[in-house]
Amino acid sequence: MNKKVRTRFAPSPTGYLHIGGLRTALYAYLYAKKHNGDFLLRIEDTDQARLVEDSLQNIIDTLNWAGLEFDEGPGKEGPHGPYIQSERLGLYQTAVQGLIEQGHAYRCFCTKERLDQMREEQMLMKKAPMYDRHCRYLTPVEIQEKLKSKASFVVRQAIPLNRQLKFDDKIRGKVTFDTNTLDDHVLLKTDGFPTYHLAVVVDDHDMQITDVIRGEEWLPSTPKHLLLYEAFNWEPTEFAHLPLLLNKDRSKLSKRQNDVSTQSYIDKGYLKEALINFIALLGWNTSDNQEIYSFEELIDKFSLERVQKSGAIFDLDKLNWFNWQWKRNLYWNKLRAKAKELDSTCQIQETNKGPVFNLTKNSPKFTNFRGGLLLTEVEKNLDQKYKTDQEFLNKALITLEEKILKEPENINELIKFYFAKNLDYNKTLFLNEKMGVNAEVAKQAIAICIKDLNESDFESEKALFDKFIQVIQKLNLKNGQVLWPVRIALTNEDFSPGVFEVANVLGYTKTIDRLKWALSELA
């Protein structure tokens, strides 16, 4: 029978959750959920000197914010708790006792002075600093004497010598280490706390973890862990080491070039859907290069086999792009839901500008709901003075939808032309050399529109479009020669929604008033 997949995220509470940590947690979560397994949170706080007070809470809050709900962990006790290492000290001490008895570990009584001197000599000889294994070869009698004299000691792992250690990493493939390059590192410190290496192996075994998914920086530790599994006679977990996160210049992701705490992205208002989507693609993709993934899709499609070995570039522009895509997606979802709520039989046509609704009930309430919904999104940014005519406002908002969604803080600037009494024209805007618009053409185009446009043309954008085409043909002018000056007359804006859209919102009277005003100003 296959074992139930169990993964864990095992951060040290030494600061707010790092963005790279969020990716590790996400991959471990996705892998577990894809295989109907469990995802655990374990806090590795054995280095008590490095603890930062509110980081445990920040880690938990951030995982919750991101939707990475753990099945077992601090505050969510399960059969393998407690899930904070400082509360599990007895377990490590018992484990280490067994290792000593079987010769896989030994007590080291070396003083700090001796170790410092040894290191200094190694540095002088340009050798990598390594413990010289002095205490590994103490006789039982010597050990008893030291113990009797109450000499303090650490416990070190007795690394087997002259072995090539091979293992299969799910991302990096076959990896080989020469055990002679490994230090007899400390497993248990003088204060009775384990080091990371001991605690991680004891806990992964005790918590029945099947797959260890962690950053590449832990790869050199893996042979030590495998040797511990062997010494304990436990079956090792599978391993997958994730590629580094890099700045754009391919240096290791750093505070200098990017914010590295997840909290800073939350504080800046990034959507969780966008951040998760972006993070998921830092080192993983599907063969079809799909970019937008919902959370459910990520669970469905994630695989460790498609995680790359090489470093993944953290590109803020890309994150901003995802944020915009998701902002729009979520807004469109709300629109779809609202349309169905107003008219459950409504047909939805999907276009690249979003869903278009064929609402059968043709009342203003129904045709304007899109603007109304946008307003609820950005209400707090909009000046009170624009809120007098709700229907007019809703129609105006629809024409500016994408711009307002992108820059909600600029809404008043964007919408103000709709509400102006007499526009204070920048007259040079009327002239457009490329389109062949000089002052005469501008005046001629505006004058003919005043004369030819009728109230009935304002029934819809389509009716306005048809009428303008007629006028243009009659004058024997190019489209731009009429549409450009008329648009400036209606908006006084270099960039604005198109003539038909704006005229449709303004309606007959306001449009004609503006055209007349423009003509008098140009005279």
Decide whether 50 or 361 has the Cβ nearer to ligand GLU: 50
Q: Is 203 among the residues that bind ligand GLU (CB under 6 A)?
A: no
| Interface with ligand GLU in residues 386-415 (CB under 6 A) | none
SS3 call for 445? helix
> In the bound complex, what is the minimum distance in angstroms from residue 159's beta carbon to ligand GLU?
19
Name the active-site residue from 112, 126, 148, 255. Answer: 255
The residue count for binding ligand GLU (CB under 6 A) is 8
5, 6, 7, 12: residue in contact with ligand GLU (rule CB under 6 A): 12
Shortest reach from residue 85's CB to ligand GLU, in Å? 9
> In this structure, are residues 313 and 248 in contact, taking their beta carbons and an 8 Å threshold?
yes
- Indicate which single residue of 30, 40, 56, 200 sits in contact with ligand GLU (rule: CB under 6 A): 200
| 365: three-class secondary structure by DSSP | helix
Phi, psi of 88 (to 5 degrees): -125, 20
- Report the distance separating Cα 18 and Cα 40, nearest Å: 18
Nearer to ligand GLU, 9 or 109 (CB): 9
Q: How far apart are CA 355 and CA 349, in angstroms?
A: 6
Task: Name which position in 104, 214, 241, 370 contacts ligand GLU (CB under 6 A).
Answer: 214
Residues 169-198 that bind ligand GLU (CB under 6 A): 196
Residue 45 in contact with ligand GLU, rule: CB under 6 A: no
Which one, 217 or 389, has the nearer CB to ligand GLU?
217
Tell me the window of 7-15, 250-258, 423-431, 435-443 that interacts with ligand GLU (CB under 6 A): 7-15
DSSP letter (8 states) at residue 360: S
CA distance 224 to 165: 10
Helix (H, G, I), strand (E, B) or coil at 351: strand
Give the distance between the most distant pair of CA atoms in the chain. 114
CA dihedral (255, 259, 263, 264) in degrees, to 10, reads 130
> In terms of CB distance, is 146 or 189 closer to ligand GLU?
189
- Of 459-478, binders to ligand GLU (CB under 6 A) are none
Asked if 44 touches ligand GLU (CB under 6 A), the answer is yes
Which helix (H) or strand (E) element contains residue 81? none
255 has catalytic annotation: yes
By CB under 6 A, name the one of 5, 6, 7, 10 that touches ligand GLU.
10
Peptide bond into 74 cis (omega under 30): no
Count CA atoms closer than 13 A to 24's CA, side-chain side. 27
Stretch that binds ligand GLU, among 6-14, 265-273, 375-383, 506-514 (CB under 6 A): 6-14
Q: Does residue 322 contact residue 278 with C-beta atoms inside 8 Å? A: yes
Dihedral, CA of residue 471, residue 475, residue 481 and residue 484, to nearest 10: -30
Query: Which of residues 196 and 326 has its CB atom nearest to ligand GLU in the complex?
Result: 196
Report how far residue 437's alpha carbon sits from residue 421's, in angstroms, rounded to the nearest whole number. Answer: 25
CA 149 and chain centroid, separation: 56
Please state, in angstroms and rounded to a whole number, the distance separating the CA atoms of residues 300 and 31.
Answer: 9
Residues 103-122 that bind ligand GLU (CB under 6 A): none
Closest approach of ligand GLU to the CB of residue 200, in Å: 5
Task: Compute the distance between CA of residue 475 and CA of residue 326 in angstroms, rounded to an integer.
Answer: 46
- In degrees, rounded to 5, the angle at the alpha carbon of residue 375 between the alpha carbons of residues 503 and 464 is 15
Binding of ligand GLU at residue 218 (CB under 6 A)?
yes
User: Per residue in 240-253, is it b (16+ CB within 10 Å) or e — as a string?
Assistant: bbbbbbbbeeeeeb
Stretch that binds ligand GLU, among 4-12, 55-63, 75-83, 426-434 (CB under 6 A): 4-12
Could you tell me which stretch among 9-17, 158-166, 279-287, 475-483 binds ligand GLU (CB under 6 A)? 9-17
Contact 239, 125 (CB under 8 A): no
Q: Answer for the pair 181, 243: CB distance below 8 angstroms, yes or no.
A: no
Minimal distance in Å, beta carbon 73 to ligand GLU?
14
Among the candidate windows 5-13, 176-184, 228-236, 353-361, which touches ligand GLU by CB under 6 A? 5-13
Residue window 14-43: x/- pattern of binding to ligand GLU, with contact defined by CB under 6 A: ------------------------------
Which positions from 77 through 96 interact with ligand GLU, judged by CB under 6 A?
none
Q: Which is nearer to ligand GLU, 261 or 481 (CB)?
A: 261
Q: Where are the alpha helices (DSSP H) in 311-423?
A: 316-342, 364-367, 369-378, 390-399, 401-406, 411-419
Least distance from C-beta 221 to ligand GLU, angstroms? Answer: 7
Identified binder of ligand GLU from the candidate list 6, 7, 11, 283, rule CB under 6 A = 11
Closest approach of ligand GLU to the CB of residue 10, in Å: 4
From 10-18, 173-181, 234-242, 453-461, give the range in contact with ligand GLU by CB under 6 A: 10-18
Minimum Å distance from CB 28 to ligand GLU?
9
For 174-196, the three-class secondary structure string (H helix, E strand, C coil) is: EEEEEHHHCCCCEEECCCCCECH
> Catalytic residue numbers?
255
Residues engaged in binding ligand GLU (CB under 6 A): 10-12, 44, 196, 200, 214, 218
